Copies of this chain bind each other. A is one copy, B any other.
Amino acid sequence: MKLLEEKILKDAKILDGNIIKVDSFLNHRLETDFLDKLAMEIANYFSGKGINKILTIEASGIALAILTAVHMDNIPVVFAKKARSKNISAKVFSSKVESYTYGKFYNVTVSKEYLNSSDKLLIIDDFLATGFAMEGLIDISKQAKADIIGLSVAIEKGFQNGGDNLRKKGFDLLSLAVVDSIENNTIIFRHL
Protein backbone atom coordinates (compact mmCIF):
# COMPACT_ATOMS: atom_id res chain seq x y z
CA MET A 1 0.00 0.00 0.00
CA LYS A 2 1.70 3.10 -1.30
CA LEU A 3 0.14 5.40 1.30
CA LEU A 4 1.64 3.45 4.20
CA GLU A 5 5.05 3.13 2.53
CA GLU A 6 5.20 6.88 2.05
CA LYS A 7 4.16 7.42 5.65
CA ILE A 8 6.86 5.06 6.91
CA LEU A 9 9.52 6.79 4.82
CA LYS A 10 8.34 10.16 6.11
CA ASP A 11 7.73 9.44 9.81
CA ALA A 12 9.34 6.18 10.93
CA LYS A 13 12.55 6.20 12.90
CA ILE A 14 15.06 3.39 12.62
CA LEU A 15 16.57 2.31 15.92
CA ASP A 16 19.41 -0.05 16.70
CA GLY A 17 18.59 -3.69 15.98
CA ASN A 18 16.54 -2.86 12.89
CA ILE A 19 13.65 -1.69 15.02
CA ILE A 20 11.22 0.45 13.03
CA LYS A 21 9.64 2.98 15.35
CA VAL A 22 6.26 4.13 14.15
CA ASP A 23 4.80 5.29 17.42
CA SER A 24 4.05 8.71 15.97
CA PHE A 25 1.08 7.31 14.06
CA LEU A 26 0.54 3.57 14.69
CA ASN A 27 1.20 2.41 18.22
CA HIS A 28 1.43 5.20 20.78
CA ARG A 29 0.09 8.31 19.09
CA LEU A 30 -2.69 7.14 16.79
CA GLU A 31 -3.27 9.18 13.66
CA THR A 32 -6.98 8.59 13.41
CA ASP A 33 -7.72 9.47 9.77
CA PHE A 34 -4.63 7.65 8.54
CA LEU A 35 -5.42 4.47 10.52
CA ASP A 36 -8.95 4.64 9.19
CA LYS A 37 -7.59 4.52 5.63
CA LEU A 38 -5.56 1.43 6.51
CA ALA A 39 -8.68 -0.08 8.06
CA MET A 40 -10.69 0.60 4.90
CA GLU A 41 -8.02 -1.11 2.79
CA ILE A 42 -8.17 -4.20 5.00
CA ALA A 43 -11.98 -4.23 5.02
CA ASN A 44 -12.13 -3.95 1.23
CA TYR A 45 -9.64 -6.76 0.70
CA PHE A 46 -11.56 -9.18 2.91
CA SER A 47 -15.10 -8.11 2.00
CA GLY A 48 -17.50 -10.81 0.86
CA LYS A 49 -15.55 -13.59 2.57
CA GLY A 50 -18.06 -14.17 5.36
CA ILE A 51 -15.91 -12.85 8.18
CA ASN A 52 -18.02 -12.39 11.32
CA LYS A 53 -15.43 -11.48 13.95
CA ILE A 54 -12.04 -9.80 14.25
CA LEU A 55 -9.45 -11.15 16.66
CA THR A 56 -6.55 -8.94 17.74
CA ILE A 57 -4.18 -8.56 20.67
CA GLU A 58 -3.71 -5.81 23.22
CA ALA A 59 -2.70 -3.10 23.09
CA SER A 60 -1.58 -1.77 19.75
CA GLY A 61 -3.73 -4.02 17.57
CA ILE A 62 -6.97 -2.69 19.03
CA ALA A 63 -7.29 0.64 17.20
CA LEU A 64 -6.74 -0.84 13.73
CA ALA A 65 -9.03 -3.76 14.54
CA ILE A 66 -12.00 -1.68 15.73
CA LEU A 67 -11.72 0.75 12.80
CA THR A 68 -11.66 -2.20 10.40
CA ALA A 69 -14.69 -3.67 12.16
CA VAL A 70 -16.62 -0.44 11.56
CA HIS A 71 -15.98 -0.88 7.82
CA MET A 72 -17.06 -4.53 7.94
CA ASP A 73 -20.67 -3.96 9.00
CA ASN A 74 -19.76 -3.42 12.64
CA ILE A 75 -18.73 -6.99 13.35
CA PRO A 76 -17.44 -7.54 16.90
CA VAL A 77 -13.76 -7.47 17.87
CA VAL A 78 -12.17 -9.68 20.50
CA PHE A 79 -8.82 -8.63 21.83
CA ALA A 80 -6.55 -11.25 23.37
CA LYS A 81 -4.87 -10.34 26.62
CA LYS A 82 -1.23 -10.78 27.53
CA ALA A 83 -0.77 -12.52 30.86
CA ARG A 84 2.50 -13.15 32.61
CA SER A 85 0.91 -15.34 35.25
CA LYS A 86 1.70 -19.03 35.28
CA ASN A 87 -1.77 -19.77 36.56
CA ILE A 88 -4.06 -19.59 33.59
CA SER A 89 -7.78 -20.02 34.24
CA ALA A 90 -9.59 -22.98 32.71
CA LYS A 91 -12.08 -20.47 31.36
CA VAL A 92 -9.69 -19.13 28.72
CA PHE A 93 -7.96 -20.39 25.63
CA SER A 94 -4.26 -19.66 26.02
CA SER A 95 -1.06 -19.94 24.05
CA LYS A 96 2.51 -19.33 25.13
CA VAL A 97 4.31 -16.72 23.06
CA GLU A 98 7.92 -15.59 23.03
CA SER A 99 8.51 -11.87 22.95
CA TYR A 100 11.32 -11.31 20.45
CA THR A 101 11.97 -7.78 21.68
CA TYR A 102 12.18 -8.70 25.35
CA GLY A 103 13.25 -12.35 25.14
CA LYS A 104 10.57 -13.39 27.63
CA PHE A 105 7.51 -15.56 27.40
CA TYR A 106 3.96 -14.50 28.01
CA ASN A 107 0.56 -16.10 27.60
CA VAL A 108 -2.00 -14.88 25.10
CA THR A 109 -5.46 -15.54 26.47
CA VAL A 110 -9.05 -15.22 25.26
CA SER A 111 -12.13 -16.10 27.27
CA LYS A 112 -13.79 -19.26 25.98
CA GLU A 113 -17.05 -17.31 25.92
CA TYR A 114 -15.89 -15.15 23.03
CA LEU A 115 -14.45 -17.53 20.44
CA ASN A 116 -16.21 -20.58 19.05
CA SER A 117 -16.62 -22.92 16.12
CA SER A 118 -19.13 -20.68 14.33
CA ASP A 119 -16.56 -17.89 14.03
CA LYS A 120 -15.03 -16.90 10.72
CA LEU A 121 -12.08 -14.83 11.81
CA LEU A 122 -9.94 -12.07 10.51
CA ILE A 123 -6.87 -11.74 12.76
CA ILE A 124 -5.34 -8.24 12.87
CA ASP A 125 -2.21 -6.81 14.44
CA ASP A 126 -0.12 -3.70 13.94
CA PHE A 127 3.20 -5.47 13.31
CA LEU A 128 4.38 -8.85 12.07
CA ALA A 129 8.03 -9.77 12.49
CA THR A 130 8.84 -13.24 13.82
CA GLY A 131 5.13 -13.99 13.75
CA PHE A 132 5.16 -15.42 17.27
CA ALA A 133 2.22 -13.30 18.45
CA MET A 134 0.25 -14.13 15.30
CA GLU A 135 1.00 -17.85 15.78
CA GLY A 136 -0.36 -17.54 19.31
CA LEU A 137 -3.60 -16.02 18.02
CA ILE A 138 -3.84 -18.77 15.38
CA ASP A 139 -3.27 -21.43 18.05
CA ILE A 140 -6.07 -19.98 20.17
CA SER A 141 -8.41 -19.80 17.17
CA LYS A 142 -7.75 -23.47 16.44
CA GLN A 143 -8.42 -24.40 20.07
CA ALA A 144 -11.80 -22.69 19.63
CA LYS A 145 -12.30 -24.59 16.34
CA ALA A 146 -12.90 -21.24 14.64
CA ASP A 147 -12.29 -20.78 10.91
CA ILE A 148 -9.42 -18.42 10.12
CA ILE A 149 -10.37 -16.61 6.91
CA GLY A 150 -7.48 -14.20 6.83
CA LEU A 151 -4.71 -12.35 8.60
CA SER A 152 -3.76 -8.71 8.25
CA VAL A 153 -1.10 -6.43 9.65
CA ALA A 154 -0.07 -2.88 8.94
CA ILE A 155 3.67 -3.50 8.74
CA GLU A 156 5.45 -6.78 8.05
CA LYS A 157 9.19 -7.02 8.63
CA GLY A 158 9.90 -9.37 5.73
CA PHE A 159 13.46 -10.07 6.81
CA GLN A 160 12.27 -11.81 9.97
CA ASN A 161 10.34 -14.44 7.98
CA GLY A 162 7.19 -14.61 10.12
CA GLY A 163 5.03 -13.54 7.19
CA ASP A 164 6.59 -15.95 4.71
CA ASN A 165 6.14 -18.83 7.13
CA LEU A 166 2.45 -18.01 7.44
CA ARG A 167 2.04 -17.77 3.65
CA LYS A 168 3.73 -21.17 3.24
CA LYS A 169 1.17 -22.61 5.62
CA GLY A 170 -1.54 -21.32 3.27
CA PHE A 171 -2.84 -18.34 5.23
CA ASP A 172 -4.26 -15.41 3.30
CA LEU A 173 -2.06 -12.69 4.81
CA LEU A 174 -2.52 -9.06 3.83
CA SER A 175 0.41 -6.91 4.95
CA LEU A 176 -0.14 -3.27 4.02
CA ALA A 177 3.61 -2.67 3.81
CA VAL A 178 6.41 -5.23 3.76
CA VAL A 179 9.85 -4.01 4.79
CA ASP A 180 12.32 -6.28 3.04
CA SER A 181 15.50 -4.82 4.42
CA ILE A 182 17.03 -1.85 6.14
CA GLU A 183 20.33 -0.79 4.58
CA ASN A 184 22.32 2.19 5.83
CA ASN A 185 19.26 3.52 7.61
CA THR A 186 17.20 3.25 4.43
CA ILE A 187 14.05 1.16 4.34
CA ILE A 188 13.58 -1.07 1.28
CA PHE A 189 10.04 -2.29 0.63
CA ARG A 190 9.07 -5.57 -0.99
CA HIS A 191 6.81 -5.41 -4.04
CA LEU A 192 5.42 -8.55 -5.60
| A contact residues vs B (CB 8 Å cutoff) | 23-24, 28-33, 35-36, 58-59, 62-63, 66-67, 69-70, 74-79, 81, 110-111, 113-114
- Chain B's closest residue to A62 (CB) is B62
Q: In the assembly, how many copies of this chain are there? A: 2
B-chain residues with CB within 8 Å of residue A113 when the two chains form the complex:
24, 29
> Do A32 and B111 have beta carbons less than 8 Å apart?
no
Distance of A52 from chain B, by nearest CB (Å): 12
Report the bound CA distance from A75 to B29 in whole Å: 11
> Do B32 and A78 have beta carbons less than 8 Å apart?
no
> Do A29 and B77 have beta carbons less than 8 Å apart?
yes
> Do B29 and A70 have beta carbons less than 8 Å apart?
no
* A30-B63 contact, Cβ under 8 Å, with A23-B111, A74-B36, A111-B23: no
> Do B76 and A31 have beta carbons less than 8 Å apart?
yes
> Do A32 and B69 have beta carbons less than 8 Å apart?
yes
Distance of A105 from chain B, by nearest CB (Å): 16
Residue among A28, A36, A69 with the most chain B CB within 10 A? A28
Contact for A29 among B24, B29, B114, CB less than 8 A: B114
Chain A residues touching B, majority SS = mixed
Distance of A137 from chain B, by nearest CB (Å): 14
Distance of A49 from chain B, by nearest CB (Å): 18
Report the bound CA distance from A32 to B62 in whole Å: 12
Inter-chain pairs besides A31-B76, A32-B66, A62-B62, 4 sampled, C-beta below 8 Å:
A32-B75, A36-B70, A59-B79, A66-B67
> Do B78 and A28 have beta carbons less than 8 Å apart?
yes
A-B contact list, 11 entries, CB within 8 Å: A24-B114, A28-B79, A28-B81, A28-B110, A30-B77, A31-B76, A32-B66, A59-B62, A59-B81, A63-B63, A63-B77
B-chain residues with CB within 8 Å of residue A70 when the two chains form the complex:
32, 36, 67, 70
